[in-house]
Amino acid sequence: MDYLKGLNTSQRQAVEQTQGPVMIVAGAGSGKTRVITYRVAHLISKGVDPFQILVLTFTNKAAKEMRERIMKVVGAEAKNIWMGTFHSVFAKILRVEAHKIGYPNNFTIYDTDDSKSLIKAILKEMNLDDKLYNPNFVYGRISMCKNNLISAAEYNQNEQIQAEDFSTGRGMLGKVYETYAARCFKAGAMDFDDLLFKTNVLLKEHPDVLHKYQHKFKYLMVDEYQDTNFSQYLIVKKLAAVNYNLCVVGDDAQSIYGFRGANIQNILNFQKDYPDVKIYKLEQNYRSTQNIVNVANSIIANNKNQLDKNVFSENDIGDKIKITRSFSDNEEGKSVAESILQERSNNALNWSDFAILYRTNAQSRSMEEALRKLSIPYKIYGGLSFYQRKEIKDLIAYFRLTFNPSDEEAFKRVINYPARGIGKTTIDKIIVAADQQNQTMFEIISDAAQHLDNRAALSVSNFATTIKSFAAVAKNSSAYDAALHIAQHSGLLKDLYDDKSVEGLSRYENIQELLNGIKEFSEREDIEDKGLDVFMQDIALLTNDDNDKGDNKDTVSLMTIHSSKGLEFPQVYIVGLEENLFPSQMALNSRADLEEERRLFYVAITRAEKKLHISYATSRFKFGSLINCEPSRFLDEIDPKYLELDFVKKAPAGNPFFENERTQWQSKTSSSNTSSGDYFSKPKPPVAGKVKTTSLLAKAHVPTEGFTPDDTSNLQVGEEVEHERFGFGKVINLEGSKPDIKATIFFKEIGQKQLLLKFAKLRIVKN
């Protein structure tokens, strides 16, 4: 029982309460893993058979770490615990029971690529347009249905779902889902989502199987319970229904996977499901300084839907949180890199003590380039280096081929991407002909009629003509104009834009970020030759990552905030705190989405142990244009007494503007206010007739009966529109070009808002 001595009072109570329903609300850095580990060890120490304990996690890494820790306490008996991810544990059960629902016990598990490949084949067989029925979109739709336990049959019987599909021109989605499910069944295969979906089917249709596992698992523990979806929730509830010994561990403030189907209500409503639950709150943060914890608390306090807790730290007070303002995203990258260099030198730290966190993958570009220029080693965590991402390499391959048609690797990479009907057989013939004639592959397709049949010759000849036209454009254009022309006329930009999945949107944003970097290069005043070929030389050098030797772990970590969950670093830089970036523009349509963004910011803050830096830019290149950026509303929610404004501190003495800022900030920090108010915001002229300042508190709008969004690609200033949530409004300004037109609309109930038309879903009011 020595292991109990190292626990604080709340931790020990949670460990020793082994009977009945238990909820452990574990704040960031509060020793959650230790509590789970010791609770399982305590059960075994009290005589519980390890075979009767089921522990469910969300990552194999977490399960492995917990099992190793338990073994240190109870020895080899820990190997007998049923512990693993939801998918691995229930795949194991299905291997035994699958025959009861018509599957062989040696069923195949399809990975994502397998599933998408099958979906593509089905779409082709059904002669469906793969632009409208994008395979990624279809896969995501089927996955969403399975996580909500909607079978193909139920999908086709649901009138609301059918109406939605037909309204978007995708009335065959139900048939695709039905065919996909049937083909998987015929092949004796389950996809990743089936492992949970079919487990629910098994437990529902076979009471004997449910009874067997309800009595087998007398003690259940679920880690990261706030991240469970409906399918996972139902399995856990069924298995715990007999013995009632269910312990869930989690933190509603760190629920950040709503886009994957996670339902925060599972943890918020746990007490309603189990009225006699014992609740233990792990509120002491052992990771971070007091200032960092206080900043996190001041942010998350703005969320309405949360469990009550008071996270605190008894560590050193620590430095104030440094806020840095830059004039562009490139300057932001430079500022962060220089700060890391200085902090490492001043405090004798390792590179691995630093992490840079961002909201979107595309933001890594400016950070990577700045780190490279100062020879700072770094590693992209949970993802590829910006220039190693497929979509970036695809477009760069087009650039390479434009300037060097003999580049065979670039040639093979893009000759049939986007798809232009040039198959593997044709490519093999080109390779053979090139070898036989001692010519390059590009020379062969430039004279394709001599080497290929008519149909193949036409396709490859058109490709050769396209590349030659790119070379002509690039010869007389700036780097940006040439790059944009190639991205558009190659079809690559449209192919990515048509992919409306989360991954597709991310890839499209990455291409836009590359074009933004080229735009900045084109506008530099310190170089004379600004052609795309010169930019390509820079890229060739930039992508030779001499720092990543594989065994060199002393590197700065770069990652999205989602990837950072569960990690911690002595010093953390959170970059890009701007409206429409963080919080994301997609999260501003509902309170639930905005609260998830705020929880994401909370997660980012609580990764820091000793020092936290936050930065934002006042301008950023987007879609080739320099746009003004407003500081994130989240900055206004931080209590100013915990902050240090780097741009005020470094301001030159005697400058009236900065002296005014100093006066304002001193006033803020010396007052009793607990909010920064709108200090970070730019002064805005009053809007005539504006009746409210926020849509989140407004009375919900009831859409017109039969509300259906219109095509707004030709929307005009002065037209009246209706939005499902914001109500009726008038278009007062339009900016940008198709397909990224931004509309400024004055809504009668909530005032002025800016919306991207392609996402806005507006109905045009006919007078």
Q: Please indicate, yes or no, if residue 177 is contained in any of the structural domains.
A: yes
Residue 639: which residues within 8 A CB-CB, separation 6 or more? 294, 295, 298, 674, 675, 676
Residue 691 has pLDDT above 60, yes or no: no
pLDDT of residue 14: 93
How far is 76 from 78, CA to CA, in rounded Å? 5
How far is 592 from 759, CA to CA, in rounded Å? 18
Q: Are 98 and 121 in contact (CB under 8 A)?
A: no
Q: Please indicate, yes or no, if residue 609 is contained in any of the structural domains.
A: yes
208 is catalytic: no
Query: Exposed, middle or buried, 584 (CB in 10 Å: 0-12/13-18/19+)?
Result: middle
Looking at 43-57, 351-365, 421-435, which range is the least confident one?
A: 421-435
pLDDT of residue 221: 94
Between 674 and 408, where is the model more confident?
A: 408
**Residue 348 marked ligand-binding:** no
**Residue 31 marked ligand-binding:** yes
Phi–psi pair at 54, nearest 5 degrees: -115, 120
pLDDT of residue 385: 66
Under the banding of pLDDT at 50, 70 and 90, the label for residue 104 is: confident
Which residues constitute the domain of residue 702?
Answer: 698-766
508 and 398 within one domain = yes
223 is catalytic: yes
- Catalytic pick from 37, 179, 254, 571? 254
Phi–psi pair at 69, nearest 5 degrees: -65, -40
Residue 366 has pLDDT above 80, yes or no: yes
How far is 512 from 514, CA to CA, in rounded Å? 5
413 and 530 within one domain = yes
Domain CATH for 13: 3.40.50.300
| Cα–Cα nearest to 695, from 588, 583, 595 | 588
Q: What is the mean pLDDT of residues 671-693?
A: 41
- Single residue among 519, 543, 567 that ends a domain in this structure: 543
Condensed to tens digits (0 to 9), the pLDDT of residues 227-248 reads: 999 999 999 999 999 999 999 9
Residue 735 has pLDDT above 70, yes or no: yes
Residue 406 has pLDDT above 50, yes or no: yes
167 and 84 within one domain = no
pLDDT of residue 390: 87
How far is 721 from 712, CA to CA, in rounded Å? 10
Buried b (16+ CB within 10 A) or exposed e, 665-681: beebbeeeeeebeebbe
- Catalytic pick from 13, 17, 33, 752? 33
Q: Please indicate, yes or no, if residue 410 is contained in any of the structural domains.
A: yes
Residue 676 has pLDDT above 60, yes or no: no
Looking at 6-15, 140-149, 730-739, which range is the least confident one?
A: 730-739
**Residue 576 marked ligand-binding:** no
- Catalytic pick from 97, 224, 368, 596? 224
744 is catalytic: no
pLDDT of residue 603: 95
Q: Please indicate, yes or no, if residue 437 is contained in any of the structural domains.
A: no
Residue 684 has pLDDT above 50, yes or no: no
Q: What is the mean pLDDT of residues 108-116?
A: 78
In 488-624 the beta strands, taken as DSSP E runs, fall at 556-560, 569-574, 608-617, 619-622
Radius of gyration of the chain (CA): 29
Residue 709: which residues within 8 A CB-CB, separation 6 or more? 761, 762, 763
Under the banding of pLDDT at 50, 70 and 90, the label for residue 352 is: very high
Distances (CA, A) of 536 to 97, 162, 394, 578: 57, 49, 14, 30
Under the banding of pLDDT at 50, 70 and 90, the label for residue 693 is: very low
Helix (H, G, I), strand (E, B) or coil at 609: strand
- Single residue among 543, 567, 591 that ends a domain in this structure: 543
DSSP 312: B
pLDDT of residue 189: 83
244 and 338 within one domain = no
Helix (H) or strand (E) holding 472: helix 454-475
Question: Helices 194-205 and 135-147: crossing angle, nearest 10°?
Answer: 30
Angle (CA) 22 24 30, round 5°: 160
Residue 687 has pLDDT above 60, yes or no: no
Q: State which of 142-146, 361-365, 667-671 shows the largest mean pLDDT.
A: 142-146
Q: What is the mean pLDDT of residues 360-389?
A: 84
**Residue 32 marked ligand-binding:** yes
How far is 645 from 663, CA to CA, in rounded Å? 12
Q: Please indicate, yes or no, if residue 683 is contained in any of the structural domains.
A: no
- Single residue among 603, 621, 645 that ends a domain in this structure: 645
pLDDT of residue 209: 95
pLDDT of residue 683: 35
Q: Please indicate, yes or no, if residue 290 is contained in any of the structural domains.
A: no
Give the rounded percent of residues in the chain with a pLDDT score beyond 70.
Answer: 89
Q: Are 675 and 636 in contact (CB under 8 A)?
A: yes
Q: What is the mean pLDDT of residues 184-210?
A: 91
| Sheet of strand 22-26, all strands in order from the earlier edge strand to the far edge | 82-85, 53-57, 219-222, 246-250, 22-26, 278-282
Condensed to tens digits (0 to 9), the pLDDT of residues 566-619 reads: 899 999 999 999 999 999 888 887 888 999 999 999 999 999 999 999 999 988
466 is catalytic: no
Buried b (16+ CB within 10 A) or exposed e, 528-539: eebbbbebbeeb
420 and 478 within one domain = yes
Give the HSE-up count for residue 509: Cα atoms under 13 Å, Cβ half-sphere: 16
**Tokens 């206080």 appear where?**
294
Token duo for residue 722: 């209706």
**Tokens 């992919």 appear where?**
499
Token duo for residue 716: 């005009």
The per-residue pLDDT of the chain, averaged, comes to 85
How far is 715 from 717, CA to CA, in rounded Å? 7
**Residue 27 marked ligand-binding:** yes
Question: Helices 112-125 and 173-186: crossing angle, nearest 10°?
Answer: 120
331 is catalytic: no
Q: What is the mean pLDDT of residues 95-110?
A: 85
169 and 122 within one domain = yes
Q: Cis bond leading into 207, ω under 30°?
A: no
pLDDT of residue 539: 65
**Residue 26 marked ligand-binding:** yes
pLDDT of residue 607: 96
Condensed to tens digits (0 to 9), the pLDDT of residues 523-563 reads: 876 666 788 887 876 665 444 333 343 445 799 999 999 98
Domain CATH for 740: 2.30.30.30
Token duo for residue 139: 């896969």
3-class SS shares of the chain: helix, strand, coil, % to 5: 50, 15, 35
**Residue 28 marked ligand-binding:** yes
Distances (CA, A) of 154 to 84, 175, 201, 322: 31, 12, 13, 53
113 and 92 within one domain = no
269 and 211 within one domain = yes
Distances (CA, A) of 32 to 27, 39, 210, 319, 680: 8, 11, 30, 26, 36
SS (H, E, C) 530-558: CCHHHHHHHHHHHCCCCCCCCCCCCCEEE
How far is 445 from 415, CA to CA, in rounded Å? 10
pLDDT of residue 198: 95
pLDDT of residue 601: 96
- Catalytic pick from 97, 193, 223, 332? 223
How far is 456 from 448, CA to CA, in rounded Å? 8
Token duo for residue 334: 């430079």
640 and 560 within one domain = yes
How many C-beta neighbours within 10 Å does residue 254 have? 21
SS (H, E, C) 162-226: HHHHHHCCCCCHHHHHHHHHHHHHHCCEEECCHHHHHHHHHHHHCHHHHHHHHHHCCEEEECCHH
60 and 117 within one domain = no
Q: Please indicate, yes or no, if residue 662 is contained in any of the structural domains.
A: no
| Cα–Cα nearest to 535, from 520, 556, 555, 548 | 520
How far is 724 from 763, CA to CA, in rounded Å? 9
pLDDT of residue 91: 87
Phi–psi pair at 82, nearest 5 degrees: -80, 100
Under the banding of pLDDT at 50, 70 and 90, the label for residue 736 is: confident
Q: Are 226 and 262 in contact (CB under 8 A)?
A: yes
- Catalytic pick from 309, 607, 611, 668? 607
Token duo for residue 17: 């309460």
pLDDT of residue 551: 46
Residue 330 has pLDDT above 80, yes or no: yes
Q: Are 256 and 232 in contact (CB under 8 A)?
A: no
pLDDT of residue 488: 93
- Catalytic pick from 11, 32, 226, 611? 32
Residue 497 has pLDDT above 90, yes or no: no
Looking at 197-211, 368-382, 460-474, 499-513, which range is the least confident one?
A: 499-513
Q: What is the mean pLDDT of residues 502-514?
A: 85
Residue 250 has pLDDT above 80, yes or no: yes
512 is catalytic: no
Q: Please indicate, yes or no, if residue 33 is contained in any of the structural domains.
A: yes
Domain CATH for 397: 1.10.486.10
Helix (H, G, I), strand (E, B) or coil at 246: strand
Give the rounded percent of residues in the chain with a pLDDT score beyond 90.
Answer: 44
Residue 702: which residues within 8 A CB-CB, separation 6 or more? none
pLDDT of residue 544: 37
**Residue 18 marked ligand-binding:** no
| Cα–Cα nearest to 262, from 561, 495, 592, 571 | 592
DSSP 701: P
Buried b (16+ CB within 10 A) or exposed e, 348-376: ebebbbbbbbbbbbbbbbbbbbbbbeeeb
Q: Are 239 and 54 in contact (CB under 8 A)?
A: yes
331 and 316 within one domain = yes
Question: Which pTM was predicted?
Answer: 0.68
DSSP 508: H
Total structural domains within the chain? 5
| Cα–Cα nearest to 556, from 292, 372, 296 | 372
174 and 140 within one domain = yes
